[in-house]
Structure 1
Amino acid sequence: MYHSVSANLEESQDLTIAVSKLEEQFAFLKENGYQSLHFKDFQDIKDLADFPKKAVIITFDDVYVNQLELAYPLLKKYGLKACFYVPFKYVNGTDSWNTDEEAIMSVAQLKTLDPEVVELGLHSYSHKKYHEMTPEDIQADFDLCKKFIVKNKLEVHNTLAYPYGKYPRKGEEKKQFFRLLNKNQIAYGLRIGNRVNSFPFKNNYEIQRLDIKGEISLVTFKRKLKFGKLFF
């Protein structure tokens, strides 16, 4: 899981990764036989025997312009696929939920992304924490997502990356949240968790992602890719 990308190595901290470090990681994936997938690829896998032995899903949250400028060319260079998750309210704006300094792609820029390389998905409309929202507010957020997608004629897969990785985790609230996802035809829901998934997923609405921070070394990246949270 990635967020912002910078041309400056000194800025490679926390949710920002330097493009030079990102290229090292992409080169490692390519050179070591990892096969990158989109979520839509799962519909073509009819038998578990056909599932790639070294499958990886590369995800970028927030569709920053720097992802278009720095990460997208690397994906094409190394023949990798990725999934970009869109907070629709902020398209053509800035990340006002965070620093308010990073530019978010416009609709026109999103449409320049080759769908064979980048699969777009949902990152909510308002970029709020689902576990702090009422079911009614969550449904209203979904409705705004759908309206934006239709109005702007975007091709968006029905995969949702939870903002901040947050969602109701217990009891009836969790069940109600998952029912809302199903009602809105969400096929997959992505949290953080930092554990390596097996396929088929234990729960399609609790798919874990590895949080790749900007400061980690290539050695740590390799270990995290193999062991996830268990290594740390």
Structure 2
Amino acid sequence: MTRKNKKFVGLFLIIAILIAAIFLLLPKKSIAPNGGVKTSETATVTASLSNNLSNLNWPKGQTINAAILMYHHVGPVPAGADEIRRGLTVSTANFTKQLQYLKDNNFNVLTLAELYRAVSNGKVPEKTVVLTFDDGYEDNFTVAYPKLQEFGYKATFFIITSKVGMADYMNEDQLKELSRSGNEIASHTVHHLSLDTVSGVTLEREITESKAYLEKLTGVSVIDFCYPSGKFSDEAKDDLKKAGYKMAVTTEPSKGSFSSDKPYEVPRFRIGPTTNLENLLK
């Protein structure tokens, strides 16, 4: 090899080493395939989010008069569906009737994030109702969302992030559309694990990675959480608070109100296929 060629090879190696070093030093910023966000970027994801409510002061010792409604599927029941699937499904006709009842009787329909802001500002409207949808099923977008638009209502959608884009679940584009339209996209963990049976790193990742993924996807701060199957522990509540969540909903039956002293144990009305909303909200 000539002296000139040796110099060229040496220069090439130096440049290659410098490029490799720069690449290794750059922070990783990719969405993990399991619906979470890699840990190296979790701390920076929330740096420039909209809907940041961290400066609000949540009151103590107050009764919050608001009915939180819990939906799952909306639309027709598939042929051969089991009892669980049938029990989680509200027909399009019944859902429409329920929205019409809310409209005709002047209920104020808020998202959970809007309720948090209203409580913090001491201005919760009378006859407040929050519509929540668990799990992130596709019919929430294809059936429920158009009906919500028809009545001018918005809702809170709790998403299992590992299920995003899978069959029967909403995909990223649908979630972004919901968010752009003013609906709230909130966390329902990464893998829908029962949080009373996990702890430590596993629990922390279910709580933080789902939040970071949704915030990166929508650009909106995620402040609300839904416990899978309504199960939780003191450790789970502590981790939620540390992660920046403001409220968490359960499956405990609601009486139409809850205590501001328990923002991580908010009860809800379960809405099933035969629920009479008028009787429920009297």
Question: Once superposed, what is the RMSD of the aligned Cα atoms?
Answer: 2.3
Instruction: Give me the whole-angstrom Cα distance separating, in 2, the residues matched to 1:183 and 1:116.
Output: 29
Structure 1 position 194, deviation (Å):
1.5
Answering whether residue 217 of structure 2 is matched by residue 152 of structure 1, we say yes
Q: Equivalent of 1:92, from 161, 165, 190?
A: 165
TM-score of the two chains, using structure 2 as the length reference: 0.67
Q: Equivalent of 1:40, from 113, 128, 132?
A: 113
Higher relative contact order (CA 8 A, sep 6+): 2
Q: Is the CA contact 1:9–1:20 (under 8 Å) kept in the aligned structure 2?
A: no
Q: Which amino acid aligns with 1:209?
A: R
Instruction: Give me the whole-angstrom Cα distance separating, in 1, the residues matched to 2:202 and 2:219.
Output: 23
Q: Is the CA contact 2:135–2:160 (under 8 Å) kept in the aligned structure 1?
A: yes
Correspondence for 2:42: none
Alpha carbons of structure 1 residues 46 and 92: separation in structure 2 relative to 1, 3 Å: closer
What pairs with 1:1-232 in structure 2 (closer than 5 Å)?
A: 1-7=70-76, 13-41=86-114, 42-44=116-118, 48=122, 50-94=123-167, 103-149=168-214, 151-168=216-233, 174=234, 176-198=235-257, 201-216=260-275, 220-226=276-282
| Structure 1 range deviating more: 16-25 or 106-115 | 106-115
Structure 1 position 186, deviation (Å):
1.0
Q: Which runs of 5+ in 2 are unaligned?
A: 1-69
Q: Is the CA contact 2:187–2:211 (under 8 Å) kept in the aligned structure 1?
A: no
What do residues 68-126 of structure 1 show as CA deviations (whole Å, max 9, x unaligned)? Answer: 111001111111121001100110014xxxxxxxx111111111115454111000111
Alpha carbons of structure 1 residues 46 and 188: separation in structure 2 relative to 1, 3 Å: closer
TM-score of the two chains, using structure 1 as the length reference: 0.81
Q: Is the CA contact 2:179–2:185 (under 8 Å) kept in the aligned structure 1?
A: no
Aligned residues: 208
SS at match of 1:157: coil
SS at match of 1:193: strand
Q: Is the CA contact 2:162–2:190 (under 8 Å) kept in the aligned structure 1?
A: yes
Identity of aligned residues (%): 25
Q: Is the CA contact 1:122–1:156 (under 8 Å) kept in the aligned structure 2?
A: no
SS at match of 2:74: strand
Structure 1 position 28, deviation (Å):
0.3
Correspondence for 1:100: none
Structure 1 position 8, deviation (Å):
5.4
Q: Is the CA contact 1:197–1:207 (under 8 Å) kept in the aligned structure 2?
A: no
What do residues 118-154 of structure 1 show as CA deviations (whole Å, max 9, x unaligned)? Answer: 1110001111110111232110222432442355355
Q: Which runs of 5+ in 1 are unaligned?
A: 95-102, 169-173, 227-232
SS at match of 1:129: coil
